[in-house]
Amino acid sequence: MARVRTGVRVMGAVLAAVLGASLVGCSSTGGKRAEERAKTAQAGRPAVNTPRWTFAMVTHAGDGDTFWDIVQKGAKDAAAKDNINFVYAHDDQAQQQAQFVQNAIDQKADGIIVSLAKPEALKDVIAKAVKAGIPVVTVNSGSAQSAEYGALTHIGQDEQIAGEAVGAELTKRGRKKAVCVLHEQGNVGHEQRCAGAKKAFGGTMENLYVEGTNMPSVQAAIQAKLQADPSVDSIVTLGAPFAPTAIKAKDAAGSKAEVDTFDLNASVARDLKSGALGFAVDQQPYLQGYEAIDLLWLNRYNADVLGGGRPVLTGPQIVTGAEAAELEEYIKRGTR
């Protein structure tokens, strides 16, 4: 035992030494200091004096999803402005998601925002909320079912339409053979995006499934695909984090294919600016969160309903190198 305790002490000493050294071993470029220099003051005070209503948001996001992070940020910003108590819960299992909606009903939330990735599983619980007089807004996925289930409005991007925008853009760019990289096998939205792209694309398009939780294997799989078929001249990834990896795979395979992607993040903006990426399709997740809260507030305050039973689309917006520079700072602060 004594030996073990010595080990702990030695480790503690080394750790302390390294922490001390870190104060000396500073980086004069990048890092938090650079971020703080660039940061501007942000507002966060309510702009209205309506009662402090509670709005609950329940999504199908998995753990650690960058996309839903931005949705949440939009919702939080709107909640701060509208004097709303914002509650958030998420689970990628539909059953658990339904349970969270039920919890919101039990807590007598003043409004519920829900994403319908697996609509059937949430049908009953949404009906309960509507029956209890709680206004429901659906976001992101489920545009087809939203009105039928009794939601006020649907805010989001139609995946099929977004896919078609990609297909049309690829055709415009004179591409002949594309690969659609799906990082989650069995995700309906992903299938719809690729199907939409395939439909609107003049050339041929194939699907490639990769293991989204394992970046090296994503790279290897794309590399393998390009090596197997040198005639591929464009790669479309369905999530921003996979775009830089696709670029690496392309370079390693010695391919001349153009890489394009759905969604934005800082490295996508950087690669758009440098020309390593052709274009990105943004569905503006910040808007999905922000508008959902704002519309619920408008409904409570003024009985407003937007969309007239039709989905309110937040995308697709095609972003190229020309717009990337402007968007970069918004991406950095986490709102694009």
Decide if residue 302 touches other proteins (CB under 8 A): no
Decide if residue 38 touches other proteins (CB under 8 A): no
Kindly state the smallest distance separating residue 206's Cβ from other proteins, in Å. 8
Decide if residue 41 touches other proteins (CB under 8 A): no
Q: Which H or E run contains 180?
A: strand 177-182
Kindly state the smallest distance separating residue 316's Cβ from other proteins, in Å. 22
Of the candidates 83, 145, 171, 227, which one interacts with other proteins according to CB under 8 A?
Answer: 227
* Length of the chain (residues): 336
Between residues 148 and 229, which has the closer beta carbon with respect to other proteins? Answer: 229
CA 306 – CA 312 distance, rounded (Å): 8
Of the candidates 65, 304, 323, 328, which one interacts with other proteins according to CB under 8 A?
Answer: 65
Decide if residue 106 touches other proteins (CB under 8 A): no
Decide if residue 59 touches other proteins (CB under 8 A): no
Between residues 20 and 275, which has the closer beta carbon with respect to other proteins? Answer: 20
Q: Which H or E run contains 279?
A: strand 277-282
Decide if residue 4 touches other proteins (CB under 8 A): yes
Using CA atoms, how far residue 8 sits from 3, 14, 21, in Å, is 9, 10, 20
Of the candidates 6, 9, 11, 326, which one interacts with other proteins according to CB under 8 A?
Answer: 11
Decide if residue 304 touches other proteins (CB under 8 A): no
Sheet containing 153-156: give its strands across: 85-90, 54-59, 111-115, 136-139, 153-156, 312-313
Between residues 113 and 218, which has the closer beta carbon with respect to other proteins? Answer: 218
Q: How many residues bind other proteins (CB under 8 A)?
A: 62
| Alpha-carbon dihedral sign for residues 142, 71, 98, 96 | positive
Between residues 27 and 302, which has the closer beta carbon with respect to other proteins? Answer: 27
Decide if residue 25 touches other proteins (CB under 8 A): yes
Kindly state the smallest distance separating residue 184's Cβ from other proteins, in Å. 12
| Alpha-carbon dihedral sign for residues 72, 236, 119, 292 | positive
Decide if residue 74 touches other proteins (CB under 8 A): no
Decide if residue 228 touches other proteins (CB under 8 A): yes
Kindly state the smallest distance separating residue 29's Cβ from other proteins, in Å. 5
Kindly state the smallest distance separating residue 148's Cβ from other proteins, in Å. 29
CA 163 – CA 179 distance, rounded (Å): 13
**CA nearest neighbour of 79 among 91, 68, 71:** 71
Between residues 4 and 41, which has the closer beta carbon with respect to other proteins? Answer: 4
CA 262 – CA 132 distance, rounded (Å): 38
| Alpha-carbon dihedral sign for residues 324, 214, 191, 171 | positive
Side chain identity at residue 59, one-letter code: T
Residue 243 and residue 267 in contact, taking contact as beta carbons nearer than 8 Å: yes
Half-sphere exposure of 230 (CA within 13 A, CB side): 4
Residues at the contact surface with other proteins, assessed by CB under 8 A: 3-4, 7, 11, 14-15, 18-19, 21-23, 25-35, 62-66, 69-70, 182, 185, 206-209, 211, 213-217, 219-221, 223-225, 227-229, 241, 244-245, 248, 252-254, 265-267, 270, 334
